[in-house]
Amino acid sequence: MTDYEKNGFLKRVVRLFTEDWLRKVIALFVTLALYSIISGNTGQEQTFTRIPVELEIPETLVNMDPAPPYLAKVIVRGNSAQLKHLSANDLKIRMQVRKENFSAHTPYVMRLSPDDVKTPFGTSVIAIEPQTITLNLEPLASKKVPVAAQFSGLNEMNHDYLISKITFTPSEVTVSGAESLLRDVDKIDTLSIPLNASATESFDYTASLSCRSGLRVMPEAVNCRVEIVKGNESRELEGVPLTLLVPPGLESKFNVELISASNVKVTLYGPRGKIAMLDEKSLNIFADLSELDRAGTYTVNVICQTPEDREIAVKNIYPDKVQVKLTLKNTEGK
């Protein structure tokens, strides 16, 4: 080789390293990266358990399975450096329920494959268990139902007062959920509305609603108007003894005989608490004979006196009249 040829060869070697060096560096980097990926994929394996399977379920369907989440076991392949820093949180499994594949009253089966698992760059999934997940799906339904009131402390209310009316706004609410759960729902109860002895006037209250698990109610609370009135009621007292009021002057001249029954039935009306406390001994039932001054048979009105309380009224006395017979006393020999 001549000197000229030697110089030309050396120049070509120098140009090989000095010309277009950036492209050559990029090519070298890509080569090393490809080598890393290939060597990593054919490297070590590691098993991860209890990886949650996230489900995307259409809003028109309800999952009736009692205990999600669904868990899977995944085997990941990668090089030792990658696997060393890999954790279960780096693995994502997300499955989509397709409405068009749903059939009522038929289990919905989803098939899992390694392709469904998202892993960090440079690693791959070679196996997953289970390979199927079975879901119990039902169509979502809704209906309107009335609201029913529930109270706490009802027995603590003043006995003279009672709840006359309850008004809800709105009066009906919308309940939604699986068809099987919704079928027997005919009302929605409020959480307990508190009452006590001081509840003697009507009041407004915002009542939250109670809803069984698996159902949803909208709105979640209603405005409640509780009307409280004085609770008057009637009460009958039977067999109340009758007393004859005989003036001293009349008793000295006449024999007094009660011809009709000596007991009467009295119907009272007033506040519940006060009416409940009355008995036969609380009443004064009598027939006043002060207007009588001759022998004979008389019909006299029956009078009932109640405790001094204007709120208690006498609605009825039966019988309201009695017959009394007066005969002169035998005074011969005196």
**Structural domain boundaries of the chain?**
3-57+68-92+113-134, 141-230, 233-328
Hey, do 141-230 and 233-328 end up sharing a CATH topology, with the first three levels equal?
Answer: yes
Written as one string, the DSSP assignment of 22-91 is HHHHHHHHHHHHHHHHHHHHTSEEEEEEEEEEEEE--TTEEE--SSPPEEEEEEEEE-HHHHHT--GGG-
pLDDT at 279: 87
CATH superfamily of 141-230: YbbR-like domain (2.170.120.40)
Pair 302, 264: CB distance under 8 Å: yes
Residues 276-297 pLDDT 10s: 888 888 899 999 999 999 999 9
Q: pTM of this prediction?
A: 0.55
Q: Label the pairing between strands 215-218 and 172-178.
A: antiparallel
pLDDT at 190: 96
Residues with pLDDT less than 70, the chain: 1-43, 67, 309, 331-334
pLDDT at 25: 64
C-alpha span between 166 and 148 (Å, rounded): 9
C-alpha span between 245 and 251 (Å, rounded): 10
Q: What is the CATH number of domain 233-328?
A: 2.170.120.30
Question: Which residue spans within 202-295 are E strands per DSSP?
Answer: 203-208, 215-218, 221-230, 232-241, 243-245, 254-258, 263-271, 284-288
Residues 1-16 pLDDT 10s: 555 455 555 556 555 5
Pair 204, 245: CB distance under 8 Å: no
pLDDT at 41: 47
